[in-house]
Amino acid sequence: MNYKNDLILRAANGENVDRTPVWLMRQAGRILPEYRKVRASLSGFKELVETPELAAEVTIQPVDLLGVDAAIIFSDILVIPDAMGLPYRMEKGVGPIFDDTIKSVSDIKKLKTADPYSDLKYVTDAISITKKELNGRVPLIGFAGAPWTIFSYMIEGKGSKTFSEARKFLYQEPAAAHDLLGKITDSTIAYLKSQIEAGVDIVQLFDSWAGILPKEQYLEFGLKYLRIICDAINEVPITVFAKGAWFALEEIGKLNCNTIGLDWHTSPEMARRLIGTEKTLQGNLDPCLLYASDKDLVKETILMLNKFGGQKHIANLGHGVYPDTKPEKVKLFINTIKEYKF
């Protein structure tokens, strides 16, 4: 497909670009009044995720309103456990809640491998609608949660600062942990392939809780399964974002992926030293800088761009944009990047 703007695809493939492309994690969401208007008409977050026409609408909003160089399909990483037979719900002010959790080998045996064409058709339908309505303006990003992060929620049952139940399971039931991670991985590969078939141009794996494990455990229970997914997805560029896993950057750099996302704790210089020059890097402005003065935001954005050096870089935040961030600050960040000349 020919795109009016294919900067993100060219950067992910290591090609030279005339400016740095930019998008934001969580760009389709709460910072936009237009999103809140759509959301207000519904019973909750899950209804929005599971209504393809509305998911497509809020996916496209940041392209129209913020001027980003890519759309990312509006969904949630927890659709995978839901499709495997472990449903979740969103509780206001709390986040995701699993009323049932995985406690034993027998619980794992009850789970199925997700069939994206039936269990997750609402996502692929949203992708098809989005692609048609974008009409080649910008590429569309698909995504999934990394197996370790999905595992964490399935064991813990909710968000946590420590995920101590999930971590305890690794020590007490390592064989069962690998069984569950294997099932999640199989489901995730099928899911990503269905997204690609529906039309996404690039996919990202979010390992949000990578940083809570010791290095050796992360290599065994986290990176091992990222590698399997990266090796299985060869139709489109793939980005790996393992938040907090600075300690494994060298190993992450050897994955069969195109782009590595960096959180705001990780300096581009250190990442380049550990990863090498082959991969594209993505990130990594501190999301809290969007609360700073306009002058400081522009200064720090330019400093970030200079640290990455202009090529093999996709500009982003070091994590998702915070919900009370003003859209004007996001636009300033985006426009600073789009106007900057090296």
| Given the residues 10, 19, 30, 137, the one annotated as active site | 30
Closest CA to 262 of 240, 293, 284: 284
Please name the residues in contact with 31: beta carbons below 8 A apart, sequence gap of 6 or more.
321, 322, 323, 324, 325, 326, 327, 330
Please name the residues in contact with 233: beta carbons below 8 A apart, sequence gap of 6 or more.
189, 192, 193, 196, 203
| Given the residues 69, 76, 82, 201, the one annotated as active site | 76
Q: Are 71 and 127 in contact (CB under 8 A)?
A: no
| Given the residues 3, 88, 153, 218, the one annotated as active site | 153
10 is catalytic: no
| Given the residues 3, 6, 26, 218, the one annotated as active site | 26
Which CA distances in Å does 281 have to 67, 203, 232, 238, 317?
21, 14, 21, 12, 12
227 is catalytic: no
Q: What is the DSSP string of 182-202?
A: HHHHHHHHHHHHHHHHHT-SE
Which one-letter amino acid corresponds to residue 283? G
| Given the residues 10, 39, 89, 137, the one annotated as active site | 39
153 is catalytic: yes
30 is catalytic: yes
Residue 24 has what DSSP assignment? -
273 is catalytic: no
User: What are the residue numbers of the active site?
Assistant: 26, 30, 39, 76, 153
